[in-house]
Amino acid sequence: MHPRLPWILLLIALPLWLAASYGLRYGLMEDPQWVGTCVAEAGRWECQLRSNLGWLIHFRALGWAALVTSVLAFFVPGRVGNALAVLALLFGLPALALYNASLAVFAVVIAGLRLVRAKPQK
């Protein structure tokens, strides 16, 4: 396997994940169609998803998860730290799109710094 393949895949996956997050924001959370539908039929799975996302946004769960994971990733060495940084980005990008930017911006920066940090010289 080419040594840069994981980085290439990450650089392809992260913008797609961010686009999906914005699609969720504008397609489900801000679309006025769902307000009327969810008032009339609150039991639909789309309305339940919208309600649960609303709670996640209200309690800033994605932002806090991203921030905690990125801080852990910054201090954990090796591949585990890299995996935690990718996980922090996977929490942080939807948090940026879903109204948790105040926490998520720090998490994304910390996780990005962890991923590009130079390896210690032996």
Q: What is the pTM of this model?
A: 0.90
Ranges of each domain in the chain: 5-116
CA dist., res. 86 & res. 59, Å (int): 22
How far apart are alpha carbons 69 and 28 in whole angstroms?
Answer: 27
Per-residue pLDDT of 46-100, as tens digits, reads 999 999 999 999 999 999 999 999 999 999 999 999 999 999 999 999 999 999 9
